[in-house]
């Protein structure tokens, strides 16, 4: 049996006619850049999130960068981000001219450890990026209180946490602005690169729109220099076609995670994911900690089960950050996790049978090699 890590084709097949119609209408309208499909998606996403402004952009890296740049963050400033994440969560800080400062992750919840924040905030700290890793939201009440106390901006990186919730409220609605990625493999994925910013702040929204559109709100009226970061019509129409299904797909992920939990909880050599209390974890990734991880991955691969590591190196341990002079022991949890974490296949269309097969394969591995 083959169990792929993700299966974007299964999702396409389930809504093929809706996607095909959406693509055809963009082409027949020749609304390739801007236009009604982009506007429709922005409006629909705004109403789903109950937020005033959705600013679509080219990807979920640009959206983070644009937020920080338009908050005036730059040279001499520091921005705190999680020690384990995709590099967008830190490279965008550097892109503004500011310095990324990493905070270790929580040993059980994997997203950033709020108890380690106070020690690294100083007078240069301008913002904190709460990365809701894997679909697991950060401890937002505490984080928000810390940000308010020190007068620093809270920015949420929701690239892995579409429709996750903290105490009944969606992640993305807690800070000054939030960044979303619609990379194809994300919980809400386009058929190419795409992303957006959400915010209730009118002034920031206006600046972000302007900056992402060459510094002009009206064609040829460039109030400043900006960048070109646009969502294209095809991607917008595809995203709109997916929106009516997204909450159902999110629930399927959660159900799949429960099935995994039940099948895996008796295996002593692994630790299944734990959820923060009063949160909705949306399982962009279903991540376990495994002893003999690399051998397990190899064994699963031979059984036809595809896995992935998120991430093989914690951000501060990457060559790109050698210049900051960190040691792995500065981030003991993230550095340990890079040796232990493995992400199992996870997507809405995954069947109980496939999950059972993955679980049995893991069981077999440890009964043979433990
Ligand atoms: C995917 C991702 C991004 C960036 O998204 P792109 O659309 O690929 O640019 C940012 N942060 C995190 C945590 C991500 O997983």
194: CA distance to ligand 1 center in Å?
10
60: CA distance to ligand 1 center in Å?
5
The reply to whether ligand 1 has any atom less than 6 angstroms from the CB of 88 is yes
The reply to whether ligand 1 has any atom less than 6 angstroms from the CB of 78 is no
pLDDT of 313-350, one tens digit each? 999 999 999 999 999 999 999 999 999 999 999 999 99
The reply to whether ligand 1 has any atom less than 6 angstroms from the CB of 130 is no
Buried b (16+ CB within 10 A) or exposed e, 236-272: bbbbbbbeebbeebbebbbebbebbeebbeebebbbb
Ligand 1 pocket mutation, candidates 95, 133, 160, criterion most atoms within 8 A of CB: 160
How many other C-beta atoms lie within 10 A of the C-beta of residue 234? 20
Q: What is d(CA 7, CA 293) in angstroms, rounded to the nearest whole number?
A: 23
Closest by CA position to 355, among listed 227, 39, 363: 363
Which atom of ligand 1 is closest in space to residue 61's alpha carbon? Answer: 9
The reply to whether ligand 1 has any atom less than 6 angstroms from the CB of 61 is yes
Which atom of ligand 1 is closest in space to residue 181's alpha carbon? Answer: 7
> What architecture (CATH level 2) is domain 8-244?
3-Layer(aba) Sandwich (3.40)
Q: What is d(CA 161, CA 241) in angstroms, rounded to the nearest whole number?
A: 20
How many other C-beta atoms lie within 10 A of the C-beta of residue 220? 6
pLDDT of 221-244, one tens digit each? 999 999 999 999 999 999 999 999
pTM of the model: 0.98
Q: Where, residue-wise, is CATH 3.40.640.10 in the chain?
A: 8-244
183: CA distance to ligand 1 center in Å?
7
pLDDT at 23: 98
The reply to whether ligand 1 has any atom less than 6 angstroms from the CB of 131 is yes
61: CA distance to ligand 1 center in Å?
6
Q: Is the pLDDT of residue 370 over 90?
A: no
Ligand 1 pocket mutation, candidates 56, 58, 61, 62, criterion most atoms within 8 A of CB: 61
190: CA distance to ligand 1 center in Å?
13
Q: Is the pLDDT of residue 9 over 90?
A: yes
Question: What are 30's strand-pairing partners?
Answer: none
The reply to whether ligand 1 has any atom less than 6 angstroms from the CB of 160 is yes
- What CATH class is the domain 246-369? alpha beta
How many other C-beta atoms lie within 10 A of the C-beta of residue 62? 26
When pLDDT is averaged across residues 84-105 and rounded to a whole number, the result is: 98
pLDDT at 367: 96
Is the CB of residue 64 less than 8 Å from the CB of residue 81?
no
The reply to whether ligand 1 has any atom less than 6 angstroms from the CB of 65 is no
Closest by CA position to 331, among listed 306, 318, 314: 314
Closest by CA position to 72, among listed 200, 224, 188, 258: 224
pLDDT of 191-213, one tens digit each? 999 999 999 999 999 999 999 99
Q: What is d(CA 216, CA 208) in angstroms, rounded to the nearest whole number?
A: 10
pLDDT at 324: 96
174: CA distance to ligand 1 center in Å?
19
Closest by CA position to 231, among listed 191, 199, 201, 171: 191
pLDDT of 39-88, one tens digit each? 999 999 999 999 999 999 999 999 999 999 999 999 999 999 999 999 99
99: CA distance to ligand 1 center in Å?
19
Per residue, what are the HEC states of the chain? CCECCCCHHHHHHHCHHHHHHHHHHHHHHCCCECCHHHHHHHHHHHHHHCCCEEEEECCHHHHHHHHHHHCCCCCCCEEEEECCCCCHHHHHHHHCCCEEEEECECCCCCCECHHHCHHHCCCCEEEEEEECHHHCCCCHHHHHHHHHHHCCEEEEECCCCCCCEECCEECCCCCCEEEEECCCCCCCCCCCCCEEEEECCHHHHHHHHHHHECCECCCCCECCCCCECCCEHHHHHHHHHHHHHHHHHHHHHHHHHHHHHHHHCCCCCEECCCCCCCEECCCCCEEEEECCHHHHHHHHHHCCECCECCCCCCHHHCHHHHHHCCCHHHCHHHHHHHHHEEEECCCCCCCHHHHHHHHHHHHHHHHHHC
The reply to whether ligand 1 has any atom less than 6 angstroms from the CB of 159 is yes
Which atom of ligand 1 is closest in space to residue 89's alpha carbon? Answer: 11
Q: Where, residue-wise, is CATH 3.90.1150.10 in the chain?
A: 246-369
Which atom of ligand 1 is closest in space to residue 63's alpha carbon? Answer: 9
56: CA distance to ligand 1 center in Å?
14
């Amino acid at each position: 049996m083959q169990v792929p890590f993700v299966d974007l084709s299964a999702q396409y097949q389930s809504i093929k006619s809706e996607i095909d119609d959406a693509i055809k209408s963009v082409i027949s309208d020749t609304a390739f850049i801007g236009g009604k499909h982009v506007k429709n998606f922005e409006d629909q996403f705004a109403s789903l999130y109950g937020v005033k402004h959705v600013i679509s952009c080219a990807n979920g890296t640009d959206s983070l960068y644009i937020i920080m740049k338009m908050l005036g963050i730059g040279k001499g400033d520091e921005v705190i981000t999680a020690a384990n994440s995709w590099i967008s969560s830190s490279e965008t800080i550097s892109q503004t001219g500011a310095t990324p400062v990493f905070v270790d992750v929580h040993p059980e919840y994997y997203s950033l450890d709020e108890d380690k924040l106070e020690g690294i905030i100083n007078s240069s700290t301008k913002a904190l990026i709460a990365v809701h890793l894997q679909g697991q939201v950060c401890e937002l009440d505490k984080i928000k209180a810390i940000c308010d106390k020190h007068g620093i901006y809270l920015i949420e990186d929701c690239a892995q946490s579409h429709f996750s919730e903290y105490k009944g409220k969606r992640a993305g609605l807690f800070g000054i602005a939030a960044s979303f990625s619609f990379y194809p493999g994300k919980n809400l994925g386009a058929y190419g690169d795409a992303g957006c910013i959400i915010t209730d702040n009118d002034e920031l929204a206006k600046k972000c729109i302007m900056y992402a559109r060459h510094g002009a709100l009206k064609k040829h009226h460039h109030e400043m220099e900006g960048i070109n970061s646009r969502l294209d019509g095809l991607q917008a129409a595809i995203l709109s076609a997916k929106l009516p299904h997204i909450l159902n797909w999110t629930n399927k992920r959660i159900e799949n995670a429960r099935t995994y939990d039940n099948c895996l909880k008796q295996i002593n050599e692994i630790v299944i994911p734990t959820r923060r209390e009063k949160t909705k974890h949306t399982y962009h990734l279903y991540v376990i900690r495994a002893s003999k991880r690399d051998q397990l991955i190899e064994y699963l691969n031979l059984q036809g089960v595809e896995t992935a590591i998120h991430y093989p190196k914690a951000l501060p341990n990457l060559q790109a950050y050698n210049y900051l002079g960190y040691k792995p022991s500065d981030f003991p949890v993230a550095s340990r996790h890079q040796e232990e974490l493995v992400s199992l296949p996870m997507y809405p269309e995954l069947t109980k049978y496939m999950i059972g097969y993955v679980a049995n394969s893991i069981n077999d591995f440890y009964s043979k090699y433990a």
